[in-house]
Amino acid sequence: MNLISISAGGFAAGMRIFSLGVILTAQAISRPAPPADTAAPPRTRIIVDSDANNELDDQHAIAYVLLNPERFEVEGITVNRTAGGGDIERHAREAERVVRLCGRSPAVRVYRGASGSFDSIRPALGTSAFDGHGAVDFIIRSAHRKGGARLVILAIGKLTNVGLALCKDPSIVPRVRVVWLGTNYPASGEYNFENDTAVVNYVLGTAVDLEVAVVRYGDSTGTGAVQVSIDEIRARLGGKGPRVAPPVVGRYGGTFTCFGDYSIDLFAHVKEKTRSLFDLAAAAIVKNPRWARPRTIPAPRFESGRWIEQGANPRRITLWESYDRNAIIGDLEETMERATHALPREGGAR
């Protein structure tokens, strides 16, 4: 009797525990899962607008975007001609060279853009074959792509292609975000800016979402501070990137099967011990805005060789300053390391 009573009591207690477990399990299943802190951000639709053959920083920005397919949906590459680097074909060929070295050809196409200035081309925008029409029309088509998220235009040369697209079709203004590598603001000068000053004032006068990655040569607050030496490039990037075949002929000759080795060759052909990767810094803050500091200001205007502040101007733009050089260069290395072991996902021009 006593043993049977104890067993029955144990059985009843066990059933209560079992029932409670079932209830808690059911509640856990029905309760919505908390949002994941590590959820991957959506991919950014992007066009890189570049004077690719001018120096060596454009190539690194293009490769960085192409080899981050989990973060960037690359619509295409557009090129423009600036004072250095030869004619528009040479700029296009250098961009195509980088696309091939990143294993993204033929999916990602290169579109020829403006050789001349905004003011010289603007009167011909109503024609079908104006200077730069290939790039300009591609930007407009990409901005209007049905179902597409807002398009980022990473402009790392002069702003001419961007300004022409905005002028030809103002309806794209709310559909695009322009991140431009340019100016020494608040000082005057800077290469991209000086190659077409008029278009900068035009774009500043529109309502387009404009962010400026300032250059500021020799100043720790600009992209000029993101410097690297050939020894560091050799140690970090040598042999890295997807292997491609057939080998690609470089700008200075020689053949290459990965972008890392081509990067070393580009650095080997400059005299300076270190070079700034201005354009890479601009690309990096699109991927991770924590790698620089944004500051919003009323849009200024450039007149008579200097910037004119317009404090009452309701039009606002964003300046990006104070770049985390180590994080940006470190992420370039990590990007190249990942790409060494896996080809990027294809995704190209529409």
pTM over 0.85: yes
pLDDT at 19 over 80: no
Q: What are phi and psi of 266, to 5 degrees?
A: -60, -45
**What pLDDT does 38 receive?**
59
193 is written with which tokens?
Answer: 């800016």
**What pLDDT does 340 receive?**
93
What whole-number distance in Å separates Cα of residue 90 and Cα of residue 75? 21
In a domain, 52, yes or no: yes
**What pLDDT does 341 receive?**
86
**What pLDDT does 149 receive?**
87
In a domain, 40, yes or no: no
Query: CA dihedral defined by 127, 129, 135, 136, rounded to 10 degrees?
Result: 0
Residue 10 — very low, low, confident or very high, per pLDDT cuts 50/70/90?
A: very low
pLDDT at 350 over 90: no
Q: Which whole-number Å values give the CA distances from 256 to 175, 252, 253, 333, in the listed order?
A: 38, 11, 9, 18
Mean pLDDT value across the chain:
90
pLDDT at 36 over 80: no
3-7, 145-149, 192-196, range with the lowest pLDDT: 3-7
**CATH number (domain holding residue 198):** 3.90.245.10
What whole-number distance in Å separates Cα of residue 135 and Cα of residue 77? 8
Nearest-CA neighbor of 149 among 41, 49, 48, 61? Answer: 41
In a domain, 14, yes or no: no
**What pLDDT does 41 receive?**
76
The tens digit of pLDDT for each residue in 294-332 reads 999 999 999 999 999 999 999 999 999 999 999 999 999
In a domain, 227, yes or no: yes
pLDDT at 133 over 90: yes
143 is written with which tokens?
Answer: 């901005």
Segments forming the whole domain that contains residue 160: 45-341
% of the chain beyond a pLDDT of 70: 87
pLDDT at 120 over 80: yes
**What pLDDT does 18 receive?**
41
The tens digit of pLDDT for each residue in 231-290 reads 999 999 999 999 999 999 999 999 999 999 999 999 999 999 999 999 999 999 999 999
Count of domains for the chain: 1
In a domain, 348, yes or no: no
In a domain, 26, yes or no: no
In a domain, 209, yes or no: yes
User: 102: helix, coil or strand?
Assistant: coil
In a domain, 37, yes or no: no
% of the chain beyond a pLDDT of 90: 84
Mean pLDDT of 226-230: 98
